Amino acid sequence: MLKASRINAFYGGSHILHGVDLEVPVLGRVAVIGRNGAGKSTLLKSIMNAGPTVNGEVRWEGQSIASLPTFKRARLGLQLVPEDRRIYQHLTVRENIQMAAYATAPGRKPIPAQEIVDRFPMLQPIAERGGGQISGGQQQMVAIARAIACRPRLLLLDEPTEGLAPAIVEQLAVSVRELCQAEQAALLLCEQNIWFARQTTDTVLVMDAGRIAFRGSWQEFDADPDIKQRHLAV
């Protein structure tokens, strides 16, 4: 479904990604893990054309999307939840979710906000609260809920567990797994939390200094303890 080939990405003169290849099949669930600064966020932004200068090929269902701006990629069904969540502080949680209508593909109806709230137990008590009056974990839930409301074909999550308490991380893993399944959405996840990545994906790529150092199943990842030592230890 998504095929990125030989991706090089740059911030000004800094060369961040070096010839990265990545594929997410229909209904695939792929994690990219790596240390701080490895280039994970840059990879997601490169796929969405949302920041770095990129060369290489990005194909969506066989068609090149390399020349498309971010909003057109979103309307094709690619939904990025960035690390900083981008919650509208002066809108309520419900209104934040309703904003999904503006990023949904033409011809597809967004999921109504009430239906989304019903499906996220954590959102029910805070649906009428302001976006600036909820915790970081709640903001993360709202950001993911808003992306799901667009009925994405591919959900791209950038470090969703950052700063969240372990109990919230567990709830988030359940919600992400269930919603991707219910909505038939594929998942591309960038994470440092290996537990969360393992709960929500079946293929893992290890990124180190802007290159993919390993790709395989979690079983293959576990079978090679050297990978952790060489590419993930700090």
Any contact of residue 85 with ligand ATP (CB under 6 A)?
Answer: no
Residue ranges with strand state E in 1-153: 2-11, 14-24, 29-33, 53-60, 63-64, 78-81
Task: Tell me how far, at minimum, the Cβ of 18 lies from ligand ATP, in Å.
Answer: 12
Binding mask 161-200 for ligand ATP (x = CB under 6 A): -------------------------------x--------
Phi, psi of 92 (to 5 degrees): -75, 170
- With CB under 6 A as the contact rule, the residue among 5, 14, 181, 184 that binds ligand ATP is 14
Pair 19, 6: CB distance under 8 Å: yes
Choice between 65 and 159, CB closer to ligand ATP:
159
Pair 183, 151: CB distance under 8 Å: yes
The one segment of 33-41, 64-72, 148-156, 198-206 that binds ligand ATP by CB under 6 A: 33-41
Task: Tell me how far, at minimum, the Cβ of 94 lies from ligand ATP, in Å.
Answer: 30
What whole-number distance in Å separates Cα of residue 75 and Cα of residue 102? 9
Return the structure tokens found at 44.
């997601």
Any contact of residue 234 with ligand ATP (CB under 6 A)?
Answer: no
- 189: three-class secondary structure by DSSP: strand
| DSSP state letter for 130 | B
Task: Tell me how far, at minimum, the Cβ of 33 lies from ligand ATP, in Å.
Answer: 9
- 208: three-class secondary structure by DSSP: strand
Task: Tell me how far, at minimum, the Cβ of 59 lies from ligand ATP, in Å.
Answer: 22
- Contact residues toward ligand ATP (CB under 6 A) are 11, 14, 16, 34, 36-42, 159, 192
